[in-house]
Amino acid sequence: MFYSRIDEKHRHTGNTKQIVAGTLMGPSSGLAICQYDNEDSFYLFGCDEDWNSVTDTWHATVEEAKEQAEFEYEGVAATWIAMD
């Protein structure tokens, strides 16, 4: 649905801490908002430099996912790119 690289236009706020397999994750290299087939909800994925999903959060709406992304990465609201 939407994606954005995380670069110097963004500020990792540190408002959330995401732990995967007992390891605290650092800032993502990119974010993606996706929806699985046959689901009404959305996922905000934190991705590495190769766009592999490292973290995810569940959201009822795209707007909620975008709000969460901005909470975590200030400036991302202005850099979303829509996927076809």
The range of the structural domain enclosing residue 55 comes to 2-82
| Buried-exposed string 58-73: b where 16+ CB fall within 10 A, e elsewhere | ebeebebbbebbbebb
Average pLDDT, the chain: 97
pLDDT in tens, 32-58: 999 999 999 999 999 999 999 999 999
Total number of domains in the chain: 1
pLDDT higher than 90, residue 8: yes
Report whether pLDDT(84) > 80. Answer: no
